[in-house]
C-alpha cells in the first residue's frame, strides 16, 4: 500500500469542493520533515485560502474535519499558518506491518493499469570495449527496467547497440591495412579495438593539422578581445556594470574554450609526430577519413567483402559485450541494433517526404522544425542514412509492432537536442499516442572535475573499473574477516564471492544514489565505506539480520507462517515499521520521474532506522518470548525489504560480510 497516495486520494475528494483542480493541491501532502509534528503534512491550505480570500487556519480545520481519516490517522492537528499535521494510528501501523510481514511482495501492490514500456539503455558501439561512459546508462536503465516491472508494468528492455555506424568503416579500413593477424587470432575484440583507436588517432591527427592554424588565430583574437575589454574602465552606471560583467564572462568563456581546443589539437599532433612509425603511417594515409567513410558506404550498400567482414566481427564483439553484462548482472529482452532497422530506412525517408515533413536541402533530406534553426537530417548528401533515420524507424517498430505506451531513452544529457528534434518529428509523423521520454544523466568526473580518466588521460575501461572495485573490496573483506574475535571463518571462495557482490554493488549504488541529471565525482573511498550512503552499508544491514537469524537458529519461513505478531512498543520499532511501510511510496516515487535515487534514499533511511532499532531493541534477548518473536518478524521484514530494494537496483545481498 502506498500511504501517501491513499492520503492524497482522500484529501482530493474533499478538495474537489474547493477547487476545480484538486490534484495539484493534494500533491502538496508530503512526508513530514520532523517526526515530532507527525508522519505526513498537508501544505496546500495557505495558497488555497489566498485564492478564496479565507483564513488559512480556519480553512485547514474545515477541510481536515471533512476528510475521512478515522481508520488511518489520529485526529489531524492544524499548526502554524495552516499546516495540517497527520499522524498514523498505532493500531493501523501494527495491522499493516503484520500484513506486510507475510506479503511476498513486501506490501507493494501491482498497478491497476499497467503500461507497455520499452526501456532503451546501455547501447554501446560494438567492436569497441565498454568504458566508464557506458556505466550510467547501463545501471540506471537496468534499475528502471526492474522497478517498473516490479510495479506491474509490461516492460521490455532493449539494448539498441551500435552495430552499423561509421566505426565499422574505420574498423574495416584498419583491418584491410593495419591488421596484426597473430593478435587478431589471440584476441579478436582487442585487436579490432586497437584498429579502431589507430584509425581514429590518424584521422584526428590530419583533422588537427588542418584545423590548428585557424584555431590559433581565433584563440589569439579571443585573447586580444578579452584583454581589451578588461582594460576598459568600469562604467559608473549599475546597468552598464552588469552588461560589462556578462560581456567579460562571455569573452572569458570563449577564450577558455578556444585555449582548450588549441591544446587538444596540439596534443593530437604531438602524439603522432613523437612516434616515427605512427607519423609515417599517417603520411601514407592522408585521406584516411574519406577512405573509412567509403568503407562504411560500401557496407551499407551491400558490398560482399565488407558484409563478410561485418559478419565475421559481430559474433566475437557480441560475446565480449555479453560477458561484461553477465558480470554486471544485466539482461536484455532484446538487442536490436542499428543493422536490424537498416532495411526500413529508405521507406522512412520516403514516408516523411510524402507527408511533407522532410524536404530536399542542399542535396540532403531534412526535417525542419518551426522555431529550431538546426535541421534534422534523415539522409545525407552522399545518400547515407543517419542516427535520426534509425531512431525514427525504431519508434515506428516499437509502436506498430510492440504497441508501446511509453519509451524511455536512458542516454547522456548531451544528446538532449537530438531527442527534442526526434520526439517532435515523431509526433508530426503521427506517433502522438506514445509517450517518448529522454531519461538524461550527467557525467562521471575525476578529482579534477573533468570526465573520469586514467592518469595517462585514457578513457577508463569498464572491465578494469570492475576489476579494481572487486580487488579493493577483497582487501576490505580479508581485513574484516581476519579481525573477527573468534577468528576468520570464510574460505577463499566465500571471500571472493562477497568481494564481487560488494565491489560491483558499490559501483552501481554510487551511481544510482546520485540525482541522475547531475555530474558526480568518482571516489573509491566513499563508495566502499562501511558507513554512510553506500551499498556496503545496506549489505551490512542485511547481513546483520542474517547474523541474528543464524545465532538464534531461526527458520525465517516458519517465522512468517507462525502466529507471531509485530508489536510496536519502542519508538525505534515504530519508526522502522513506518519506514518499511513506505517501500511502495519509494518505488512509486522512482516511477514518477524515473529517478532511482528515490529508492536509494529510502534504503539509506531504512538502514539507519534498523541500526537504531538494533541498538535499542534486543532481539534474541528480548524481555518476553512474544516480544522476541515480534522483533524477529520486524527484523526479517527489514531484511526482505532491503534485499528486494537492492535487487531492484541490480545489487546483490550477502548473508555474511
Q: What integer pLDDT is reported at residue 456 of this predicted model?
A: 64
DSSP 292: H
When pLDDT is averaged across residues 258-284 and rounded to a whole number, the result is 96
The pLDDT tens digits of the residues spanning 11-41 come to 999 999 999 999 999 999 999 999 999 999 9
* In a shared domain, residues 401 and 269: no
Per-residue pLDDT averaged across 354-376, rounded? Answer: 95
Range 248-261 average pLDDT: 95
Q: Residue 630 in contact with residue 453, Cβ under 8 Å?
A: no
Are 326 and 425 contained in the same domain?
A: yes
For 61, 295, 324, 484, the CA distances from 318, given in Å and listed in that order, are 64, 21, 10, 44
More confident residue, 452 or 637: 637
Mean pLDDT, the chain, rounded, equals 95
Interatomic CA distance for residues 64 and 485, integer angstroms: 56
Per-residue pLDDT at 471 exceeds 90: yes
Q: What is the DSSP string of 100-122?
A: HHT-TTTT-PPPSS--EEEEE--
Asked whether residue 292 is assigned to any structural domain, the reply reads yes
What cell numbers appear for 80 in the block? 502554524
CA distance 598 to 140: 12
pLDDT exceeds cutoff 90 at 574:
yes
Cell reading at 238: 549599475
Note whether residue 100 is domain-resident: no
Please report which helix (H) or strand (E) contains residue 439, including its range.
strand 435-441
Rg (the chain; Cα; Å): 30
CATH number, domain containing residue 124: 3.40.50.620
Domain holding 578: CATH number?
A: 1.10.730.10
Inside any domain, residue 26? yes
Phi-psi region of 73 (alpha: psi -120 to 50; beta: other; left: phi over 0): beta
- 354-387 burial, b at 16+ Cβ within 10 Å, e below that, comes to eeebbeeeeebbbbbeeeeeebbbbbeeeebbbe
HSE-CB of 286 using CA atoms within 13 angstroms: 3
Highest mean pLDDT among 163-172, 242-251, 373-382, 601-610: 601-610
User: Buried b vs exposed e over 74-103: b needs ≥16 C-beta within 10 Å?
Assistant: bebbbeeebbbbbbbeeeebbebbbebbeb
Q: Look at residue 149 and tell me whether its pLDDT is greater than 90.
A: yes
Q: What is the per-residue pLDDT across 91-105, written as a single tens digit (0 to 9) for each?
A: 999 999 999 999 999
Q: Quickly list DSSP for 444-479.
A: EE-TTSSB-B-TTSPBPBHHHHHHHHHHHHHHHHHH
Q: What range does the domain containing 411 cover?
A: 116-163+311-356+388-445
Residues with Cβ within 8 Å of 468's Cβ and at least 6 positions away in sequence, in order, are 524
- Statement to judge: residues 415 and 279 lie in one domain: no
- What is the pLDDT, as a whole number, of residue 457? 67
Cell numbers given for 277: 612509425
Which DSSP state fits 655?
A: S
State residue 478's pLDDT score: 94
Average pLDDT on 50-74 reads 95
- What pLDDT sits at residue 656? 87
Domain membership of residue 372 (yes or no) is no
Q: Residue 78 pairs with which residues in a beta bridge?
A: 84
Q: Which residues contact 31 (CB under 8 A, 6 or more apart)?
A: 4, 39, 40, 41, 582, 585
Quote the CA–CA distance of 23 and 426 in Å, as a whole number. 30
Q: Distance (Å, rounded) from C-alpha 550 to C-alpha 542?
A: 13
Query: pLDDT value at position 418?
Result: 97
316 and 235 in one domain? Answer: no
- Partnered with residue 385 across adjacent β-strands are 379
How much helix, strand and coil, in percent to the nearest 5, is found in the chain? Answer: 60, 10, 30
Half-sphere exposure of 459 (CA within 13 A, CB side): 13
Give yes or no: residues 197 and 279 share one domain: yes
Reported for 248-254, long-range contacts at CB under 8 A and 24+ positions apart, including other chains, are: 251/222, 251/225, 251/226, 252/226, 254/222, 254/225, 254/226
- Note whether residue 101 is domain-resident: no
The Cα–Cα gap between 151 and 532 comes to 28
In contact, 66 and 15? CB cutoff 8 Å = no
**Claim to verify: residue 186 and residue 155 sit in the same structural domain:** no
Q: Out of 71, 88, 105, pick the residue that ends a domain.
A: 88
CATH of the domain at 15: 3.30.1360.70
Please report where in the chains the cell 552598464 appears, as a residue: 240
Task: Say whether both 606 and 479 belong to one domain.
Answer: yes
Residues 47 and 65 occupy one common structural domain: yes
Q: What is the rounded average pLDDT of the residues 227-245? A: 90
Which phi and psi angles does 73 have, rounded to 5°?
-125, 155
Output the CA torsion sign for 237, 240, 242, 247: negative
pLDDT value, residue 455? 66
531 belongs to a structural domain: yes
Distances (CA, A) of 328 to 146, 497, 647: 14, 14, 12
Number of domains in the chain: 4
The more confident residue out of 591 and 164 is: 591
Task: Assess whether 133 and 157 both reside in one domain.
Answer: yes
91, 52 contact by CB (below 8 A): no
pLDDT tens profile 623-656: 999 999 999 999 999 999 999 999 999 999 999 8
- Give the mean model confidence (pLDDT) for residues 206-225: 97
Do 493 and 594 lie in one domain? The reply is: yes
Which among 30, 85, 38, 78 has a CA at the least distance from the CA of 58? 78
Do 21 and 138 belong to one domain?
Answer: no
**Domain end point (choices 37, 68, 88):** 88
pLDDT beyond 80 at 281? yes
Instruction: Give yes or no for residue 382 having a pLDDT over 90.
Output: no
Nearest to 340, CA basis, from 159, 585, 86, 541: 159
Is residue 331 assigned to a domain? yes
- Shared-domain flag, residues 73 and 187: no
> Three cell numbers at 240?
552598464
Question: Cα(first)–Cα(last) distance of the chain, in Å?
Answer: 32
Joined grid coordinates for residue 402: 510492440
Domain boundary among 303, 321, 344: 303
The answer on pLDDT for 239 being more than 70 is yes
* C-alpha cell at position 89: 494510528
Percent of the residues in the chain that have a pLDDT greater than 90, as a whole number? 89
Cα–Cα distance for residue pair 472/459, rounded to 1 Å = 20
Is 90 exceeded by the pLDDT of residue 69?
yes
The DSSP-derived string for 340-352 is HHGGGHHHHHHHH
Does 111 map to a domain? no
Q: Cα angle at 217 between 216 and 223, to 5 degrees?
A: 85
Edge-first strand order for the sheet with 376-379 is 358-361, 364-367, 376-379
pTM here is 0.91
Amino acid at each position: 500500500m502506498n500511504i501517501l497516495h491513499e492520503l492524497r486520494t482522500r484529501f482530493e475528494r474533499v478538495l474537489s469542493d474547493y477547487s476545480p483542480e484538486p490534484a495539484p493541491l493534494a500533491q502538496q501532502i508530503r512526508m513530514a520533515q520532523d517526526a515530532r509534528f507527525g508522519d505526513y503534512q498537508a501544505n496546500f491550505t495557505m495558497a488555497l485560502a489566498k485564492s478564496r480570500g479565507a483564513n488559512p487556519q480556519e480553512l485547514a480545520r474545515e477541510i481536515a474535519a471533512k476528510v475521512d481519516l478515522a481508520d488511518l490517522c489520529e485526529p489531524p492537528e492544524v499548526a502554524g499558518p495552516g499546516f495540517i499535521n497527520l499522524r498514523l494510528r498505532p493500531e493501523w501501523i501494527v495491522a499493516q506491518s503484520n500484513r506486510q510481514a507475510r506479503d511476498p511482495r513486501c506490501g507493494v501492490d501491482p498497478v491497476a493499469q499497467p503500461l507497455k514500456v520499452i526501456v532503451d539503455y546501455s547501447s554501446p558501439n560494438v567492436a569497441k570495449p565498454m568504458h566508464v561512459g557506458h556505466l550510467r546508462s547501463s545501471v540506471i536503465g537496468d534499475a528502471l527496467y526492474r522497478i517498473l516491472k516490479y510495479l506491474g508494468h509490461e516492460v521490455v528492455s532493449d539494448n539498441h547497440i551500435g552495430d552499423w555506424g561509421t566505426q565499422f568503416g574505420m574498423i574495416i579500413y584498419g583491418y584491410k591495412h593495419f591488421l596484426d593477424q597473430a593478435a587478431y587470432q589471440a584476441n579478436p575484440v582487442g585487436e579490432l579495438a586497437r584498429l579502431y583507436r589507430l584509425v581514429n588517432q590518424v584521422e584526428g591527427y590530419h583533422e588537427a593539422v588542418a584545423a590548428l592554424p585557424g584555431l590559433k588565430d581565433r584563440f589569439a583574437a579571443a585573447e586580444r578581445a578579452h584583454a581589451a575589454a578588461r582594460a576598459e574602465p568600469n562604467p559608473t552606471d549599475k546597468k552598464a556594470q552588469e552588461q560589462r560583467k556578462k560581456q567579460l564572462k562571455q569573452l572569458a568563456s570563449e577564450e577558455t574554450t578556444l585555449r582548450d581546443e588549441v591544446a587538444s589539437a596540439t596534443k593530437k599532433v604531438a602524439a603522432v609526430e613523437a612516434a616515427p612509425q605512427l607519423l609515417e603511417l599517417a603520411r601514407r594515409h592522408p585521406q584516411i577519413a574519406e577512405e573509412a567513410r567509403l568503407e562504411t558506404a560500401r557496407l551499407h550498400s551491400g558490398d560482399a567483402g565488407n558484409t563478410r567482414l561485418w559478419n565475421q566481427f559481430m559474433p566475437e564483439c557480441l560475446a565480449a559485450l555479453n560477458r561484461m553484462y553477465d558480470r554486471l548482472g544485466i539482461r536484455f529482452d532484446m538487442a536490436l541494433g542499428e543493422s536490424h532497422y537498416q532495411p526500413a530506412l529508405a521507406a522512412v525517408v520516403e514516408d516523411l517526404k510524402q507527408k511533407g515533413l522532410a524536404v530536399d536541402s542542399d542535396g540532403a533530406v531534412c526535417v525542419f522544425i518551426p522555431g529550431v534553426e538546426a535541421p534534422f537530417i534523415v539522409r545525407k548528401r552522399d545518400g547515407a542514412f543517419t542516427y535520426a533515420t534509425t531512431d525514427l524507424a525504431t519508434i515506428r517498430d516499437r509502436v506498430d509492432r510492440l504497441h508501446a505506451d511509453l519509451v524511455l531513452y536512458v542516454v547522456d544529457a548531451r544528446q538532449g537536442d537530438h531527442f527534442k528534434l526526434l520526439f517532435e518529428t515523431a509526433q508530426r509523423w503521427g506517433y502522438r499516442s506514445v509517450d517518448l521520454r529522454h531519461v538524461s544523466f550527467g557525467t562521471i568526473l575525476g578529482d579534477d572535475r573533468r570526465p573520469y580518466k586514467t592518469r595517462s588521460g585514457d578513457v577508463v575501461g569498464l572491465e578494469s573499473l570492475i576489476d579494481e572495485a572487486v580487488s579493493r573490496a577483497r582487501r576490505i573483506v580479508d581485513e574484516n574477516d581476519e579481525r573477527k574475535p573468534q577468528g576468520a571463518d570464510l574460505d577463499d571462495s566465500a571471500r571472493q564471492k562477497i568481494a564481487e557482490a560488494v565491489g560491483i554493488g558499490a559501483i552501481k549504488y554510487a551511481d544510482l544514489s546520485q540525482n541522475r541529471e547531475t555530474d558526480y565525482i568518482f571516489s573509491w573511498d566513499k563508495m566502499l565505506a562501511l558507513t554512510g550512503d553506500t551499498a556496503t552499508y545496506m549489505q551490512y544491514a542485511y547481513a546483520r539480520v542474517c547474523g541474528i537469524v543464524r545465532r538464534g537458529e531461526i527458520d525465517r519461513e516458519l517465522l512468517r507462517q507462525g502466529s507471531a505478531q509485530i508489536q510496536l512498543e519502542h519508538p525505534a520499532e515504530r519508526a522502522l515499521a513506518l519506514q518499511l511501510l513506505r517501500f511502495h511510496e519509494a518505488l512509486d516515487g522512482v516511477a514518477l520521474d524515473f529517478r532511482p535515487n528515490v529508492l536509494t534514499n529510502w534504503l539509506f533511511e531504512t538502514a539507519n532506522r534498523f541500526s537504531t532499532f538494533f541498538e535499542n531493541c534486543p532481539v534474541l534477548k528480548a524481555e518476553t518470548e512474544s516480544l522476541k518473536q515480534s522483533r524477529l518478524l520486524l527484523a526479517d521484514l527489514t531484511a526482505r525489504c532491503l534485499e528486494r530494494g537492492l535487487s531492484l537496483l541490480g545489487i546483490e545481498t550477502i548473508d555474511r560480510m
